[in-house]
């Protein structure tokens, strides 16, 4: 099979779907790999690195799509790029299909099959394919550094001859993969960390990392599926806001990480909360691209509102492209090898990982998330 990797074209995207190390492993396993010229440059992998690993370098973007048996990408291609793919070819990338009808329709019209990296089920044997987690882990780390860079003070307590500097107080919303990594990073840097999460079972993880859990009693409106929050009532969110308002008011830094797949991100930090914070405080909204957890955050902008700096970076993993590409490449390689041999796809339609991640099959939409729309 011809595995083809086009250049990423989405704005602010620095990652690439395969790294030279993973290319070498795929070539050794019998796959043919083709990389679009300069596809890895923003991740600090040049064409010579790929050629040495056994890939062929292709200069023509359209050709990289039209020749492919399998296209591997980070972000889904646009409708025109999908139309270049030959019938019954296969696309593997992030698709977020439930909220991206255009790409699903393009795959159907082109008669191709598509697997979505964000739809890989959260089961133990799929952990090495879990690109959402690998990228969120890096994002949680980087988010703390970005917020620390904006705040006008150091994070740890420091005793000097001139007096003692009190540690920075940080409030983190969400103790998922990104939130837990943010807690660990903030604690290593010496901050005092408080954490809010609507799932009481995360308390133990938070405390094991040295964070203080802001405890809130759950209710029946919190819907869970596969480890993700799938739904929560407006009334419950209001109660959560009221509980954490005091903690936000006293915080130097607030980081929000809460996402609900297929839905707009829940509002966690209201305009009143922002106004209550000290002049010079910092908020980083990791959910800004999905509507934002913070009232007033703006996509890909850092703004100052009521004396508070609000960071709205939409693609934090892309700011660490070497590591992010390396982890993503291993995720997508593991999925590819699970789904196929070097010669063909297995199409085990009732197998959990295949069934969970397959969005379109040979021009027909098959995933529940798009069938119900």
The residues annotated as belonging to the active site are 122, 127, 130, 133, 228
| 323-337 per-residue burial string, b: 16 or more CB within 10 A, e: under 16 | bbbbbbbbbbbbbbb
The whole-angstrom separation of Cα 356 and Cα 69 is 21
Closest CA to 289 of 265, 266, 311: 265
Spatial contact of 70 and 38, defined as CB atoms under 8 Å apart: no
Q: What are phi and psi of 3, to 5 degrees?
A: -100, 120
Q: Distance between CA 338 and CA 117 in Å, rounded?
A: 13
End-to-end CA distance of the chain: 33
- Kindly state the helix (H) or strand (E) to which residue 57 belongs, with its residue range: strand 56-58
Render 258-308 in DSSP notation, one character per residue. ---TTSPPPP-B-HHHHHHSPTT-EEEETTGGGT-SBTT--TT-EEEETTE
Describe the strand order of the beta sheet including 358-361 as a list of residue ranges.
56-58, 32-36, 2-5, 70-75, 90-94, 113-116, 358-361, 364-365
Work out the angle at residue 250's Cα, subtended by the Cα atoms of residues 244 and 252, and round it to the nearest 5 degrees: 110
Pairing of strands 364-365, 358-361: antiparallel
CA 130 to chain CA centroid, nearest Å: 10
115 bridge partner residues: 92, 358
CA distance 276 to 270: 10
Interacting residues of 74 by C-beta distance below 8 A, sequence separation 6+: 8, 13, 15, 16, 17, 93, 94, 325, 328
């Amino acid at each position: 099979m011809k595995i083809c990797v086009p250049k990423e074209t989405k704005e602010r995207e620095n990652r690439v779907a395969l790294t030279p190390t993973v290319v070498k492993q795929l070539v050794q396993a019998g796959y043919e790999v083709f990389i679009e010229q300069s596809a890895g440059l923003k991740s600090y992998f040049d064409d010579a690195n790929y050629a040495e690993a056994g890939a062929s370098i292709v200069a023509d973007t359209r050709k990289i799509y039209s020749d492919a048996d399998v296209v591997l990408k980070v972000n889904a291609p646009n409708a025109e790029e999908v139309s270049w793919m030959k019938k019954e070819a296969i696309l593997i990338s992030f698709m977020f299909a439930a909220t991206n009808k255009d790409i699903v329709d393009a795959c159907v019209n082109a008669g191709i099959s598509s697997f979505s990296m964000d739809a890989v089920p959260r089961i133990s044997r799929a952990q090495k394919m879990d690109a959402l987690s690998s990228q969120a882990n890096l994002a949680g780390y980087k988010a703390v550094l970005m917020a620390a860079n904006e705040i006008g003070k150091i994070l740890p307590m420091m005793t000097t001859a001139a007096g003692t500097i009190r540690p920075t107080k940080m409030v983190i919303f969400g103790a998922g993969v990104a939130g837990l990594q943010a807690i660990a990073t903030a604690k290593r840097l010496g901050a005092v960390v408080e954490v809010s999460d609507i799932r009481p079972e995360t308390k133990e993880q938070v405390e094991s990392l040295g964070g203080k859990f802001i405890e809130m009693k759950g209710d029946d409106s919190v819907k869970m599926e596969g480890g993700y929050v799938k739904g929560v009532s407006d009334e419950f969110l209001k109660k959560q806001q009221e509980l954490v308002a005091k903690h936000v008011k006293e915080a130097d830094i607030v980081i929000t990480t809460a996402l609900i797949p297929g839905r707009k991100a829940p509002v966690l930090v209201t305009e009143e909360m922002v106004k209550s914070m000290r002049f010079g405080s910092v908020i980083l909204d990791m959910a800004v691209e999905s509507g934002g957890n913070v009232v007033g955050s703006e996509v890909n902008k850092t703004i100052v509102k009521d004396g508070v700096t609000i960071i709205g970076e939409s693609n934090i993993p892309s700011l660490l492209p070497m590591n992010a590409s390396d982890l993503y490449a291993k995720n997508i390689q593991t999925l590819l090898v699970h789904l196929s041999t070097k010669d063909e796809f297995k199409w085990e339609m009732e197998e959990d990982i295949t069934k969970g991640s397959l969005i379109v099959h040979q021009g027909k939409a098959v995933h529940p998330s798009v069938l119900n729309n």
